[in-house]
Amino acid sequence: MAQGLFDDTNLFSAGETNIVRYNLPDAELTLYEHFFDKETADDLYTTLLANTKWQQDNITIYGKTHLTPRLTAWYGDTSKSYTFSGTKMEPHPWSPELLMIKERIETKAGVHFTSVLLNLYRDGNDSVGWHRDNEKEFGANPVIGSVSFGETRPFQIKHKFRKDLKKVEIPLTHGSYLLMAGPMQHFWEHQVPKTAKQIAPRINLTFRVIL
């Protein structure tokens, strides 16, 4: 079958998008590698690095306050604020480049995203620990569109309840798009671990629906 000819993914990226559907229980997980072609991804990396209002927040774990080991920023519909660990996060309004990314990834997501959390991992010392993104305001089955630019970092997932299932590691490359849906956020935790390797920065964007 002449599949691909009228596939919008192939139009966007001159035929180079590679689609990987993960066959995992309790999750709908699809990886679109090279969703953004190299030139577009390079431009977006540079623009987002320079123009994002990066901040470093405090997090309190077991009564001790630490600096978050990465820089973050919230953008999105300004009517949708989000409360995280008791702190109300007011999003910055969408920039043109964030709107462009949002519209492109929505063609595969089947939802309209209202908000995006940007993370900047400056080097191998920056990370995000095991967690799920299943807060109530993300809906019953949260759909999360995750776009990465810059250094490839391993995105690790593990089932929260089934110890018989192995941890899965997905390298998120420059210009890739990982779509997480179904009940995944209830059943699977994810993290981006630290590494001692000398590596370049990475920007990750997780687009979310806030009800």
Which residues contact Mn ion (rule: CB under 5 A)?
A: 133
Cα torsion 73, 9, 159, 119 to 10°: value is: -10
**Burial class of residue 202 in the structure, from the number of CB atoms within 10 Å of its CB (0-12 exposed, 13-18 middle, 19+ buried):** buried
- Residue with Cβ nearer ligand AKG (73 or 128): 128
Per-residue contact flags (x/-) with ligand AKG for residues 140 to 179, judged by CB under 6 A: ------x--------x----------------x-------
- Residue with Cβ nearer Mn ion (9 or 119): 119
192 binds, among ligand AKG, Mn ion, none (CB under 5 to 8 A by kind): ligand AKG
Q: For residues 211 and 138, give the distance between their C-alpha atoms in angstroms, rounded to a whole number.
A: 6
- Residue with Cβ nearer ligand AKG (10 or 193): 193
Cα R_g (the chain), whole angstroms: 17
Query: Of all residues in this chain, which one has the CB nearest to Mn ion in the complex?
Result: 133
Nearest-approach distance from CB 64 to ligand AKG, in angstroms: 21
Please report whether residue 192 would count as binding ligand AKG according to CB under 6 A: yes
Residues forming a β-bridge with 20: 31
The tokens describing 136, both together, are 């109530």
* Centroid of chain to Cα 31: 11
Binding site for ligand AKG (CB under 6 A): 117, 119, 128, 133, 146, 155, 172, 190, 192, 204, 206
